[in-house]
């Protein structure tokens, strides 16, 4: 397939973190194809070297040394120097790796500030220009750590996975205005990766083996990759997609308990006959409704799941899902710490539990005050064993109208609060060699949703965070799981019809949470569990409406298309953007039976490493 050369003449590209590594490679290649380039880096000397290299080669570039959180300054550099902006590459990054127990708030905040808030700020500044000119390209930079979790990178995994949910929502909102957004998980030698990679890996993972793909997805006549995620490195390129397990169905009557979930859990992770939903609406709702009507009562497992002598913290427990979780744990013998910022809500739930014969105490404070919540548990019940990080808020607004404050508060409550609560219980869990954590993501995080860029980002971040907790906790019998529930609550009542709110009872989610936190050594390991009124799956599921529950499990999946999956360009010969266009069908082909299913960062690297040594003599890209 012959593809005309992709020229970027007349385009202006803003590239963050462009003083070295991937950002430098992007800058040089865009400039060589005629683009005006704004080279951003807080290292002024490094940025200037890239600018000088571009100008000396006959290109056009200017330096910008602003923090990425000052997106307006970056975009103004483009406007002042070149009169416009058409492409934004959110590439800047830092590392603050640390085991979770030793990680400080500063190390968490610095990572989310640069990787997540920076991407928001720069995109927010470019967005009105993209809308006005009916054209824009955004490329965000995720990581395998975000997709799969990685030891010592809870902060990094959270921020990087957040960019996946953010990108998917930008893609949805940008359709009307010719704005396309793509997210990549690149693996390449850089000042960041030099601290964690071997010399052999660094030698084979040159940034020049990522840059051509970036140009191909950013060109007006390039490939259509909007809303999609890709792994790129060492000449290997593959699309990533979600896969939803077959799951199982439960009748939601009084027989629907954690013990009933335990009895059929083996069906939840069954990926034979799995599907691959692409949006919130992808589900056979009517078919599941018919099946739900035929179900008998659920059979329990024995011994039944109980929480006697265990203390459970539930954040945001004054209403909705949190209230349902708290009430369930109270009935099953647990000591329950009911956290909520609403004094009336928290005390009301405590009273309900106590009147039913249970034990509970209120912790009235923000879910970000994890230490205070844990202190209440220790002072009242002398211990803590389970954390349900459930608290949440909505500040829905189109991205164009969304304010910085609306972004910040949603990220704080949905992402930073789970971090703070998990951080407070972690040393206790480690010392007693037992702990269970359930965090709450959302189907919006997996698919994106109009008007919820902040929520999608924060909830996606929870996935990367939880995956890392599961990895770090394994040695200490700390099990972490993440669920994507659908339920009629105070949050969803603002966007759902009353009929949907009535159908999606929080009580139909609680039994799954109960099983995920049970004490058995054969308890469930990490997955993303989609839970709704009739459906539970390992992955993600769409909006349900029946008095039954189907549970599927989800995880990232990569395509086939060649012997290795995806497409492998020769690792020692620099491929071109035109090569990407020519091989696009192979890169995105999931139908040839060679799809791979990595579940760890190491597994994700296997195909990339297998491509080392392929091709002929290396040649410079420029």
Token representation of residue 282 = 């992808």
In the predicted model, is pLDDT for residue 191 greater than 80?
A: no
In the predicted model, is pLDDT for residue 496 greater than 70?
A: no
Which pLDDT belongs to residue 346?
Answer: 98
Token representation of residue 522 = 């054969």
Determine phi and psi for 231, rounding to 5 degrees.
Answer: -100, 135
pLDDT in tens, 39-73: 999 999 999 999 999 999 999 999 999 999 999 99
Which pLDDT belongs to residue 204?
Answer: 78
Average pLDDT score, the chain = 88
The residue among 556 and 89 whose pLDDT is bigger is 89
Among 197-201, 287-291, 328-332, 515-519, name the one with the lowest average pLDDT.
Answer: 287-291
Which pLDDT belongs to residue 270?
Answer: 80
Q: How far is CA 131 from the centre of its chain?
A: 26
Confidence class for position 193, pLDDT limits 50, 70, 90: low
In the predicted model, is pLDDT for residue 617 greater than 50?
A: no
Name, in order, each residue with C-beta under 8 angstroms of 454's C-beta and a sequence gap of 6 or more: 395, 402, 406, 407, 410, 411
Which pLDDT belongs to residue 561?
Answer: 47
Among 532-536, 583-587, 594-598, name the one with the lowest average pLDDT.
Answer: 532-536
Which pLDDT belongs to residue 288?
Answer: 58
Which pLDDT belongs to residue 597?
Answer: 80
Strand partners, 38: 14, 62
Which pLDDT belongs to residue 498?
Answer: 54
Q: What angle do CA 528, 310, 323 make, to 5 degrees?
A: 60
Section 552-569 average pLDDT:
64
Confidence class for position 615, pLDDT limits 50, 70, 90: low
The residue among 277 and 528 whose pLDDT is bigger is 277
Which pLDDT belongs to residue 27?
Answer: 98
Section 495-502 average pLDDT:
53
What is d(CA 468, CA 415) in angstroms, rounded to the nearest whole number? 14
pLDDT in tens, 308-336: 999 999 999 999 999 999 999 999 999 99
Which pLDDT belongs to residue 594?
Answer: 72
Which pLDDT belongs to residue 528?
Answer: 56
In the predicted model, is pLDDT for residue 534 greater than 70?
A: no
Which pLDDT belongs to residue 493?
Answer: 55
Which is the catalytic residue, given 26, 148, 156, 325? 156
- Asked if 156 is an active-site residue, the reply is yes
In the predicted model, is pLDDT for residue 386 greater than 50?
A: yes
pLDDT in tens, 114-165: 999 999 999 999 999 999 999 999 999 999 999 999 999 999 999 999 999 9
What is d(CA 484, CA 481) in angstroms, rounded to the nearest whole number? 10
Confidence class for position 293, pLDDT limits 50, 70, 90: low
Q: What is the 3-state secondary structure (H, E, C) of 210-278?
A: CHHHHHHHHCCCCCCCCCCEEEEECCEEEEEEEEECCCEEEECCCCCCHHHHHHCHHHHCCCCCCECCC
- Spatial contact of 197 and 608, defined as CB atoms under 8 Å apart: no
Which pLDDT belongs to residue 11?
Answer: 98
Domains parsed from the chain with CATH numbers:
12-201+213-235 (3.40.50.720), 258-264+300-305+486-555 (no CATH)
- Spatial contact of 390 and 321, defined as CB atoms under 8 Å apart: yes
What is d(CA 466, CA 463) in angstroms, rounded to the nearest whole number? 5
- Asked if 567 is an active-site residue, the reply is no
- Asked if 397 is an active-site residue, the reply is no
pLDDT in tens, 593-605: 777 888 888 888 8
Which pLDDT belongs to residue 188?
Answer: 85
Q: Alpha-carbon dihedral of residues 424, 427, 433, 436, nearest 10 degrees?
A: 20
In the predicted model, is pLDDT for residue 530 greater than 60?
A: no
Q: Is the peptide bond before 507 cis (omega within 30 degrees of 0)?
A: no
What is d(CA 246, CA 257) in angstroms, rounded to the nearest whole number? 21
What is d(CA 476, CA 467) in angstroms, rounded to the nearest whole number? 15
Which is the catalytic residue, given 325, 455, 515, 534? 455
Section 406-413 average pLDDT:
98
Which pLDDT belongs to residue 533?
Answer: 37
Which pLDDT belongs to residue 462?
Answer: 96
In the predicted model, is pLDDT for residue 550 greater than 80?
A: no
Confidence class for position 287, pLDDT limits 50, 70, 90: low
Which is the catalytic residue, given 63, 124, 160, 180? 160
């Amino acid at each position: 397939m012959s593809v005309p050369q992709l020229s970027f003449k007349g385009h202006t590209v803003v590239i963050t973190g462009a003083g070295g590594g991937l950002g430098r490679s992007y800058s040089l290649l865009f400039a060589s194809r005629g683009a005006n380039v704004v080279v951003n880096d807080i290292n002024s000397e490094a940025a200037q070297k890239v600018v000088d290299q571009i100008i000396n080669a006959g290109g056009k570039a200017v330096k910008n040394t602003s923090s990425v959180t000052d997106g307006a300054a970056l975009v103004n550099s483009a406007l002042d120097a070149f009169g416009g902006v058409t492409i934004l590459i959110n590439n800047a990054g830092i590392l603050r790796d640390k085991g979770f127990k030793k990680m400080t708030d500063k190390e968490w905040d610095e990572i989310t500030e640069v990787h997540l808030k920076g991407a928001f700020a720069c995109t927010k500044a470019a967005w009105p220009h993209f809308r006005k000119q009916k054209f824009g390209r955004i490329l965000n930079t995720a990581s395998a750590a975000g997709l799969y979790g990685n030891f010592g990178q809870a902060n990094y995994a959270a921020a990087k996975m957040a960019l996946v949910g953010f990108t998917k929502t930008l893609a949805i909102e940008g359709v009307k205005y010719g704005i396309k957004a793509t997210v990549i998980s690149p693996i390449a030698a850089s000042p960041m990766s030099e601290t964690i990679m071997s010399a052999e890996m660094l030698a084979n993972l040159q940034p020049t083996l990522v840059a051509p793909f970036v140009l191909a997805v950013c060109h007006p006549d390039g490939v259509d990759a909007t809303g999609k995620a890709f792994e790129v490195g060492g000449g290997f390129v593959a699309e990533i997609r979600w896969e939803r397990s077959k799951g199982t169905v439960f009748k939601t009557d009084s027989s629907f308990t954690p013990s009933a979930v335990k009895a059929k859990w083996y069906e939840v992770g069954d990926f034979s006959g799995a599907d691959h939903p692409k949006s919130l609406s992808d589900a056979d709702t009517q078919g599941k409704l018919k099946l739900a009507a035929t179900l008998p009562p659920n059979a329990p497992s024995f011994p039944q799941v109980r929480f006697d002598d265990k203390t459970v913290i539930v954040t945001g427990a004054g209403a909705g899902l949190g209230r349902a979780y708290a009430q369930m744990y109270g009935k099953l013998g647990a000591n329950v710490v009911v956290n909520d910022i609403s004094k009336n809500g928290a005390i009301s739930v405590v009273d309900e539990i106590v009147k039913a014969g249970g034990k509970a105490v209120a912790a009235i404070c923000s879910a970000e005050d994890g230490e205070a919540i844990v202190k209440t548990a220790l002072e009242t019940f002398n211990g803590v064993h389970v954390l349900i990080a459930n608290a949440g808020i909505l500040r829905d607004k189109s991205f164009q109208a969304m304010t910085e404050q609306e972004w910040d508060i949603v990220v704080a409550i949905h992402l930073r609060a789970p971090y703070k609560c998990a951080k407070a219980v972690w040393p206790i869990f480690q010392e007693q060699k037992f702990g269970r954590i359930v965090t709450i993501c959302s189907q919006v995080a997996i698919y994106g949703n109009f008007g919820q860029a902040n929520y999608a980002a924060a909830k996606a971040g929870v996935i990367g965070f939880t995956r890392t907790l599961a990895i770090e906790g394994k040695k200490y019998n700390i099990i972490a799981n993440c669920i994507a529930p659908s339920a009629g609550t105070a949050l969803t009542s603002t966007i759902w019809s009353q009929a949907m709110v009535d159908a999606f009872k929080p009580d139909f989610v609680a039994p799954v949470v109960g099983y995920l936190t049970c004490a058995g050594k054969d308890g469930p390991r990490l997955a993303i569990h989609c839970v709704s009124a009739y459906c539970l799956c390992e992955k993600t599921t769409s909006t349900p409406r029946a008095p039954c529950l189907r549970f599927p499990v989800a995880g990232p999946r990569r395509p086939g298309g060649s012997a290795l999956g995806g497409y492998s360009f020769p690792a020692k010969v620099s491929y071109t953007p035109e090569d990407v266009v020519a091989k696009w069908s192979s890169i995105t082909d999931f139908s040839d039976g060679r799809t791979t299913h990595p579940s760890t960062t190491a597994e994700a690297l296997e195909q990339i490493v297998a491509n080392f040594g392929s091709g002929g003599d290396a040649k410079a890209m420029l």
